[in-house]
Structure formats: structure tokens, C-alpha cells
Homo-oligomer: A and B are copies of this chain.
Amino acid sequence: MTRASNTDLRRAQITAALRRVMARNGYDRASISDIAAEAGLTQGLVHYHFKSKLEILVAVLLDLAASQDRDLDQLLAASPDNPAAQLAAIIDLHLATGRTADPDALACWVTLSAEAIRTEEIRLVYQSVTSSLVHRLVSVIQAGVKQKVFRTATPDAAAAAIAASIQGYFVLAATNRAAIPRGSASSCVRSMVAGLLHLQRPLPTRRLRR
């Protein structure tokens, strides 16, 4: 009959707050007191739930990683044995209109990328996120090659290229939105994939559920 712990709720409030503050100000300029204010908590409480500021950032990143893995799992399971549809779905997951439209998420991700460069702990988690995407792309591509719908001698390189294109759109969208014709990201990546994997037919287009 001890009082129910609200630790999970608090941690979620705090990571969400960091995401928002970081989108506005970056990680270094996101002070604990900013984060606390954004979460509607006090400074001391933030440190009660997280040992350090860096730990909050790690938690944010782990959330994103889990969320991406969940999404990819679901999406691959939706079109089993259909590499083309799976590939299209992965692209849409990241670039379909509405995705890249959330400036906070974009800003947060680009900020994390920059942070990954200098903080070992962040880099490792960040790499697990990008590697996870790349590995799944490799599997899909290999399956497609086996089915002769894709043709490439270097699935690793192709997967990296697709991941890079997605990342690149994130950066461009976050920093110079006007340079990207509205709605062009997803379809351009499909065309690029067609060249990359020597497709005979374009990747299928599916309706996005929201």
C-alpha cells in the first residue's frame, strides 16, 4: 500500500520538455530550469528523476529509437514478402508529408545528430538508431534482390544511400524548408531508389493512414 510511483510519468514529462526546449534552443542552451519550467516541475525534481542533464538527452534518444523500431516492425509486418512495398513504406514513414512537417521533431533530431558527434554516450545510441534503419534496409534490399525486383551488387551501400537521403531531407527541411518543393521528398526518394536498385517499375504508392 505504498504510494504509487509516478516516476515513469515524471520521466516522460521531462523528456518531452527537453524535446521542446531543445528544438527551440539546442541542447547546451536548454537549461535544467528551462526544462523544469516547460514540464511544469521544479528544478530539484528534474534532478531527482535524472542524475544529470545528459541522462535526459539519452532518454530522449532512447525513446526515439524505441519508437522508430516499433514503427519499422509494424510496417514490415504489414507487407510480408513484398520488398518493394516495404521499401516504399520505410520511405513514407520518414518522408511522407506530415512527417517532415513537424519542425520540432526535425529540429530535435538534427540537434541530436550534432550532439552525437561529440558525446560518446549519445553517439552510441544515435548510431544504434541509424544502424537499425540501415540494417532493415539491407534486409529488405537483399530480399528484393533475391526476388529479382531489385538489382544491386552492394546492398549495404544502397541501404546507406537511402538512409543518407532521408537524413539529408531532415536537415534540409529543418534548416532551409523553402528549398524543398512541398511534398516532393517522398516521391524523389522513390525515383532515386529506382535508379539505385535498377527497378523495372516504380515503387508502389500507398495511402497514408494518419
Residues of A77-129 contacting chain B, CB below 8 A: 107, 110-111, 113-118, 123, 126-127
- Complex CA distance for A114 and B174, rounded to whole angstroms: 9
Residues of A155-197 contacting chain B, CB below 8 A: 156-158, 160-161, 163-172, 174-176, 178-181, 184-185, 187-189, 191-196
Q: State whether B28 touches A26 (Cβ < 8 A).
A: yes
Q: State whether B29 touches A161 (Cβ < 8 A).
A: no
Least CB distance, A143 to chain B, in whole angstroms: 19
Q: Classify the interface of chain A: helix, strand, loop or mixed.
A: helix
Count of interface residues, chain A, beta-carbon cutoff 8 Å: 57
- Complex CA distance for A6 and B111, rounded to whole angstroms: 36
A139 contacts the other chain (CB 8 A): no
- Known contacts A126-B176, A164-B172, A167-B171; 19 additional CB pairs below 8 A are A24-B118, A26-B28, A26-B115, A110-B114, A111-B117, A113-B113, A116-B176, A117-B175, A130-B175, A160-B172, A160-B180, A161-B165, A161-B192, A164-B169, A164-B171, A164-B185, A166-B168, A192-B196, A195-B196
